[in-house]
């Protein structure tokens, strides 16, 4: 799996590349990609990072389930050990 994150004027574009080995006549690989747009124009820097990380977690299968007792929660709430 390969994920690329690009910053654009109103947020980020996350591209997930999936390589498929196919038997084509000329031996080329077919590359399939999924693109996610994360708009962060009106968000703080911390809110933007959380939204990006949640989009990546979702791609990796960590989706929010309202019935689950254990969901991934990304937030900025812990001090460093030297603070």
66 found inside a domain: no
pLDDT, tens only, 5-34: 999 999 999 998 876 666 667 777 777 888
* DSSP β-bridge partners for residue 32: 18
pTM: 0.74
Contact 54, 33 (CB under 8 A): no
Q: Which pLDDT score is estimated for 10?
A: 93
For 18, the domain range is 2-59
Please check whether residue 74 lies inside any domain of the structure: no
Rounded Cα distance, 9 and 77, in Å: 28
**pLDDT averaged over the chain?**
86
Assigned domain for 13 exists: yes
In a domain, 54, yes or no: yes
In a domain, 30, yes or no: yes
| In a domain? residue 77 | no
Number of domains into which the chain is organized: 1
Residue 36 lies in a domain: yes
Instruction: Looking at 1-83, list the stretches that DSSP marks H as alpha helix, in order from N- to C-terminal side.
Output: 45-59
Higher pLDDT, 11 or 59: 11
pLDDT at 82 over 90: no
Which residues face 13 on adjacent strands? 6, 37
């Amino acid at each position: 799996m390969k994920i690329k994150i690009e910053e654009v004027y109103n947020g980020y574009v996350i591209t997930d590349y999936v390589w498929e080995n196919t038997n084509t006549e000329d031996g080329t690989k077919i590359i399939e990609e999924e693109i996610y747009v994360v708009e962060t124009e009106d968000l703080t820097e911390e809110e933007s990072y959380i939204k990006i990380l949640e989009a990546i977690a979702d791609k990796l299968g960590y989706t929010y389930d309202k019935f689950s007792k254990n969901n991934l929660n990304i937030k900025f709430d812990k001090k460093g050990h030297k603070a």
